């Protein structure tokens, strides 16, 4: 749904906020995470490996 209405808004954040409100999702961030996971699952986006903590300096 976000991809379908993206062109109606000035940026993706505005589209996410509008769609989240329409769907009754409490946070646009929640919807953004779901959209990102869908892109990864469908192969449109590569998942980044988790960041490793910086090594301690001695």
pLDDT greater than 80 at residue 53: no
**What integer pLDDT is reported at residue 56 of this predicted model?**
63
pLDDT in tens, 4-51: 999 999 999 999 999 999 999 989 999 999 999 999 999 988 877 778
Q: Taking the CA atoms of the chain, what radius of gyration do you get in angstroms?
A: 16
Res 17: pLDDT? 95
Whole-number pLDDT of residue 49:
76
Q: Report the C-alpha gap between 8 and 36 in whole angstroms.
A: 20
What's the confidence (pLDDT) of residue 25? 93
The C-alpha atoms of residue 9 and residue 12 are separated, in whole angstroms, by 7
Q: Which of 42, 41, 17 is nearest to 28 (CA)?
A: 17
Tokens 């906020």 found at? 17
Q: How many residues does the chain have?
A: 58
Residue 39 DSSP class = H
């Amino acid at each position: 749904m976000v991809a379908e209405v993206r062109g109606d808004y000035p940026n993706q954040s505005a589209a996410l906020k509008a769609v989240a409100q329409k769907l009754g999702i409490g946070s646009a961030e929640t919807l953004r995470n779901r959209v990102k996971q869908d892109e990864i699952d469908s192969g449109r986006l590569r998942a980044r490996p988790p960041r490793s903590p910086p090594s301690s300096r001695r």
